[in-house]
Amino acid sequence: MINKMFDLTGKVALVTGGSKGLGLSMARALALAGADIVINSRNGDELDSAMAKILEGTDRKGFSLVADLFKRKDTISLAQEALEAMGRVDIIINNAGTNVPAPVDEIKDDDWDRLVELNLSAPMVLVRELAAQMKERRWGRIINISSIFGLCTKEARGVYSATKAGLIGITRTMAQDLGPWNITANAIAPGPISTPLTDRLVQGELREYFDSMVLLDRWGKPEDLMGPALLLASDAGSYITGSTLLVDGGWMTR
């Protein structure tokens, strides 16, 4: 009974930015639960090795393609090509995102526009493009990867916080708009997770600050997102919608 609740056999999951870090770990969790997987990356060289890691030891199918979600046309193409290749998309994990730290009076227009496009607009576009076929089957799961900085913030994190807070806001609207078709929409707000990106951006005194905010005396690992993603993607989380799940090592209790 318990295993069946988490079983994703017959489902197709699209995980943006699934070639590394959090995205790869979440895609791996869904593949182990029985889902076929679609991932994208801007770097085609890493897609084959990433998909091999995701599908290792399973009999699932995978489809990967180069798509730069800073570009609206690539985001639309990703949705269309995923449907053409797999016939359906049941689960969307909007994971792709980045950060360009800058004080609010030094934010560059190009940085603002690019982060809004990747962190906020691309998730909306993918859901807009893929919702209709979910409605037809009356089943769907949308998981938007936000951040604790969508709920709190710190100096020089204005663009990132704005996009991640916006992602939480539109997640609630997605839940309201799509709920009548048995489509759930939730956000995950990770705290400090050790990836090449965060290890590069968070150093020195800032690293010490992040360390001081975590109750568990360690940074998270990408694998710490596997269980939460599987919960929200499966029937085990079928009555959870419009929520933001903190995976932050206790940060938000400070």
| Per-residue pLDDT tens over the stretch 219-249 | 999 999 999 999 999 999 999 999 999 999 9
What percent of the chain has a predicted confidence (pLDDT) above 70?
A: 100
**What confidence score (pLDDT) does residue 181 get?**
98
**What confidence score (pLDDT) does residue 196 get?**
83
**What confidence score (pLDDT) does residue 190 get?**
98
The CATH T-level fold of domain 2-244 is Rossmann fold (3.40.50)
pLDDT tens-digit map of 217-226: 999 999 999 9
Q: How confident is the model at residue 152 (pLDDT cuts 50, 70, 90)?
A: very high
Q: Where are the alpha helices (DSSP H) in the chain?
A: 2-5, 21-32, 47-55, 72-86, 109-115, 122-137, 158-178, 196-201, 204-213, 226-233
What percent of the chain has a predicted confidence (pLDDT) above 90?
A: 96
Give the helix/strand (H/E) hosting 203. none
pLDDT higher than 90, residue 184: yes
pLDDT higher than 80, residue 6: yes
Total Cβ atoms within 10 A of residue 25: 23
Helix (H, G, I), strand (E, B) or coil at 88: coil
Identity of the residue numbered 1: M
Q: Are strands 183-190 and 140-145 parallel, antiparallel or unpaired?
A: parallel
Q: Catalogue the active-site residues.
A: 160
pLDDT tens-digit map of 198-211: 888 799 999 999 99
Rounded to 5°, the CA angle 41-182-88 comes to 40
Q: Any idea where the domains of the chain sit in the sequence?
A: 2-244
Q: How confident is the model at residue 87 (pLDDT cuts 50, 70, 90)?
A: very high
pLDDT higher than 80, residue 197: no
What DSSP string describes 103-157? Answer: -GGG--HHHHHHHIIIIIIHHHHHHHHHHHHHHHHT-EEEEEE--GGGTS--TTB
What average pLDDT does the segment 62-90 reach? 98
